[in-house]
Amino acid sequence: MKKLVSMIMAAAMALCLCACGGESPDKAYNNYLKEITKGASTANGTLTVALSPDFAPMEFYDASKKGDAAIVGFDVLLANFLAKELGMKLTLSPMSFEACMAAVQSGKADISISGFSWTMERAENYEITDWYEAGDNETEQVIIVKKSNENKYTKAESFAGMKIAYQGSSLQQQLVKETFGQMSDVDINNVYSDIGAAVEALKSGKVDAVAVAKGNGDAIIANAPNDIAFSGFEFDVDPIYENNVCLIQKGNTALLEKVNAALAKAKEAGYYKVWYEASQIYSSIKTADELGYDENGVKITETAN
Amino acid sequence: MLDICNIYKDFGSLKVLKGVSAHVEKGEVISLIGVSGSGKSTLLRCMNLLETPTFGEVWMEGKLLTQPDPYLHPEIIRASKTFEKLKAAGLADEDAIRKIKKEDLLHEKHGAEGKGYVRLMKEFYAANHLDANLARQKMGMVFQQFNLFNNLSVKDNITLAPVKIGTAKLKQAIREGQKTTETKESIKAAAEKKAMELLARIGLEDKADSFPASLSGGQKQRIAIIRALAMEPDVMLFDEPTSALDPEMVGEVLDLIKELAKSGMTMVVVTHEMGFAREVSDRVLFVDEGYIKEEGTPEEIFRNPKDARLKDFLSKVL
Amino acid sequence: METFISNIIRIMSRYGHVFLLEGVAYTLLLSLIAVAGGSVLGALFAFGKRGKIPPLRILINALVEIVRGTPLLLQLYAGVFILPRLIPALNELPDIVSVSVVLIINSAAYVSEVIRSGIQAVDIGQTEAARSLGLSERTTMWNVVLPQAVKNILPALGNEFITVIKETSLASTFYVGDLMTSYLKVRGNTFLTLECLTIVGILYFILTFTLSKLLAAAERRMKHA
């Protein structure tokens, strides 16, 4: 009881403190955002982008900001870039993951940039853009487990007798089925509507492991470092799945071409890596020091002197 | 002044009234007696059109209150083409009338001499019909369950109808360009004055601002009676006015009704209080199984009942 | 258990304003709009249903049946994705407008039933007495029946408000800012599902509990009036 009281008092103090200042992990991010939107014209209409801001560092909310500016992340930077390249005004439409797909299908949104991977089904029902590489967010697909099992399970066979969970309709679901489907002693019938729920199941012991994208895993572990860790296992991923894509309404090839052209430009300029780093700092998955940024959010390059 | 002509009333497949006729003179007090379910309440409610007769007509002071019933107007039927056709086929007058169906008549727009059944009926209606709302303003009804307006004070209960209806008439008059000295306020003032007078008559002036919930049954019923009187009706209808009262309050209500009867009000009363019926009525009607099986003066009915079921009934209640 | 509580405290100190200033405020705002608009529209529905224009009656009845017979989530999807095709103006407005429209219509469907049964609950003798005095149908309704029906309807309306507060949580699918949206936002940042759910659950409970106590107090006062 005493401990509880002292914790509450600490929190009360923290509450007072948090009103004043603190670190601004958004410096690097804001620099890149400014760079992207500089000189943007909006002559060609509005680009409505549907996304589901519950997925750090790709898209998430900055609770200290209001309105559209509160939605941040790698995909947001990308969205701003695409809008500028197309000469359109950007409108962000936040909604649940399923709703995003419905929005593109119904035409309510022009495009959805929400950490999508390529899957056969999506290719059939939508126009899929070229891939973009959000750091190592998607390139590695891993399995997370409880901290006590950190790095203990490096092979598929190690998961004998365990329950593996994943988000429904996701790339991870596909990978889990492919990898573990034949193993009769692995329980892979643990579908969850969102990653958060699957993580809760892991914490409570209902399941033993959760398949996630590496970037996601980073974020989850950063928030529960004493509870969750990487299992050491990495999926063998077909390169085609390695990166993210955007979804566009089937048949809208005009927009598809323009977006692909813009993506090619971003790839050439090497933006993907630094945007991802800035987003990681912003969502506190990694620190500025770790990734080599100074206190003004500028990347420290080796050509110093 | 009140004429009931051959009333039938069906509720779905249940036939409650099966051809009832009655006549009420001005100033008469008529009692309707009979067992429960005999149709006496239904008959009363047909008089002020709370129930619409399935067949038959109700007339008040020369005005038709219900829809016209063709079978009561043979002369109009005779004017119809359908009738002509049947007669031409060789049927006698009476048979022809009996054979005619209402549906056939309604289809007929033009008859002999350019005026078909439908047209004639319309003219008849226009010449004789009185709107139900207007008719009810001249008839007062008192219910077994009192039915005072729970959301209004006693005084408002009494003045609501006079004020609303008076104001509506005033607006109508102004619209038609008639000159009048009345105003909304004068109507309201007059209604309130009348209400207080009526309350004084029954000794309940101090209850003017009370609400029905705080009154006893006997008080409620007496107020219900003067609420109806506030509209200065030509006839008062009572539907078992004392049946829901505790015995000690029945007397005060009956006294008020008797007083009203003595003052010359035309009244039709459905009641189980035989003593009251005997004392106050000019005529008593015995309603049974949807018919009026016997009618006469209180002497005749109570001393010399002829109908078997009436005798049976009286033996049970007296 | 201790990590759980310390997590909650940590979350509240960092994101408390999201829950309290945004979440609670938007939930109350949406609920108010839904019930206020729903009451007005519901009254129109109720009178349309009793009215004398058959096509109108049939239309309203059909709408009410559909709204009461399908899940609110489905209606929200329809409102956000399909409605703007019929009313292009909605495309320019933020989703919260479409969401509000759906919530209003949804509430109206239930309120029209509340009103209808409230009117029906008034003893028919009241109507009979009024008509017997020669009063018109309209005057009877306005001066005698409705005032008494209101006493039946208001408590049910209060309950509808409390129900709507919980139902607005579905709007979070479109990140409209209500309490459930706050949950999604903060959860998206912290990945601490259970803690965020607990906070939001407590806040919802405080809202509904307070309101139901206020409602009970108001009902008691009305009884004495």
Min distance B214 CA to chain C CA atoms (Å) = 12
A46 forms bridges with which residues in the sheet? A89
Any idea what the Cα angle at residue B233 is, between residues B231 and B238, rounded to 5°?
Answer: 105
Asked if residue A288 lies in contact with residue A31, where contact means CB atoms within 8 angstroms, the answer is no
Q: What average pLDDT does the structure give for chain A?
A: 82
Task: Point out the residue among B137, B150, B160 whose CB comes nearest to the CB of C143.
Answer: B160
Enumerate the H helices of chain C as residue ranges.
2-17, 25-50, 54-69, 72-77, 83-86, 95-120, 124-132, 137-140, 146-167, 179-190, 193-224
CA R_g for chain A: 20
Residue A289, pLDDT > 60, answer yes
Asked if residue A93 lies in contact with residue A48, where contact means CB atoms within 8 angstroms, the answer is yes
pLDDT score, position A76: 92
Given CB atoms, is B226 within the 8 Å cutoff of chain C?
no
Judged by 3 or more CB pairs under 8 A, whether B touches C is yes
Identity at C168, one-letter amino acid code? T
Residue B160, pLDDT > 90, answer yes
Interface contact B149-C125, CB threshold 8 A: no
Q: List chain A residues with CB under 8 Å of C9.
A: 7-8, 10-11, 14
Q: Tell me whether residue A14 is exposed, middle or buried, using C-beta atoms within 10 angstroms of its C-beta: 0 to 12, 13 to 18, 19 or more.
A: middle
Kindly state the average pLDDT of the residues A107-122: 86
At what angle are helices B154-175 and B217-229 packed, to 10 degrees?
A: 20
Q: List chain A residues with CB under 8 Å of C174.
A: 94-96, 99
Q: Which domain holds residue C49?
A: 2-224
Q: Could you identify the residue written with the tokens 């991923």? A: A237
Looking at 3.30.70.360, 3.40.30.10, 1.10.600.10, 3.40.190.10, the CATH number of the domain A141-236 comes to: 3.40.190.10
Q: Is the ipTM of this complex over 0.90?
A: no
CA distance B73 to A220: 93
**pLDDT single digits (tens) A253-267:** 899 999 999 989 888
pLDDT score, position B105: 60
Asked if residue B76 lies in contact with residue B70, where contact means CB atoms within 8 angstroms, the answer is yes
Kindly state the average pLDDT of the residues A146-161: 86
CA distance B203 to C128: 27
A293 forms bridges with which residues in the sheet? A299
Nearest Cα neighbor of A56 from A196, A242, A234, A166 is: A196
Long-range contacts of residues A170-176, Cβ cutoff 8 Å, at least 24 apart: A170/A117, A171/A117, A171/A118, A171/A119, A171/A138, A171/A141, A171/A213, A171/A241, A172/A141, A172/A211, A172/A212, A172/A213, A173/A211, A174/A119, A174/A241, A175/A141, A175/A211, A175/A235, A175/A237, A175/A241, A176/A211
Q: Tell me whether residue B309 is exposed, middle or buried, using C-beta atoms within 10 angstroms of its C-beta: 0 to 12, 13 to 18, 19 or more.
A: middle
Q: Where in chain A is the domain with CATH 3.40.190.10?
A: 2-136+241-282, 141-236
B238 forms bridges with which residues in the sheet? B142, B269
Residue C153, pLDDT > 80, answer yes
Kindly state the average pLDDT of the residues B174-188: 84
pLDDT band (50, 70, 90) for residue B108: low
Enumerate the H helices of B149-216 as residue ranges.
154-175, 184-201
Residue A22, pLDDT > 50, answer no
Q: What average pLDDT does the structure give for chain B?
A: 86
CATH code of the domain containing C186: 1.10.3720.10
**pLDDT single digits (tens) C125-142:** 999 999 999 999 999 999
Asked if residue C207 lies in contact with residue C19, where contact means CB atoms within 8 angstroms, the answer is no
Interface contact B145-C132, CB threshold 8 A: no
pLDDT band (50, 70, 90) for residue B109: low
Q: Tell me whether residue A168 is exposed, middle or buried, using C-beta atoms within 10 angstroms of its C-beta: 0 to 12, 13 to 18, 19 or more.
A: middle
Identity at B130, one-letter amino acid code? L
pLDDT score, position A136: 66
Any idea what the Cα angle at residue A56 is, between residues A54 and A58, rounded to 5°?
Answer: 100
Q: List chain C residues with CB under 8 Å of A14.
A: 9-10, 13
CA distance B176 to A124: 76
Given CB atoms, is B48 within the 8 Å cutoff of chain C?
yes
Neighbouring CB atoms inside 10 A of C49's CB total 17
Residue B234, pLDDT > 70, answer yes
Q: In terms of CA atoms, which chain C residue is nearest residue A70?
A: C185
Asked if residue A143 lies in contact with residue A213, where contact means CB atoms within 8 angstroms, the answer is no
Interface contact C174-A94, CB threshold 8 A: yes
Kindly state the average pLDDT of the residues C162-179: 90
Interface contact C125-B145, CB threshold 8 A: yes
Kindly state the average pLDDT of the residues A243-247: 87
* The CATH number of the domain covering residues in A2-136+241-282: 3.40.190.10
pTM comes to: 0.74
- For chain B, percent of residues with pLDDT exceeding 70: 90
Interface contact B136-C133, CB threshold 8 A: yes
Q: How many domains does chain C have?
A: 1
Q: Could you identify the residue written with the tokens 């948090």? A: A18
pLDDT band (50, 70, 90) for residue B81: low
Residue A304, pLDDT > 60, answer no
* Core vs surface per residue C193-213: b (16+ CB within 10 A) or e: bbbbbbbbeebbeebeeebee
Asked if residue C17 lies in contact with residue A70, where contact means CB atoms within 8 angstroms, the answer is no
Residue B25, pLDDT > 70, answer yes
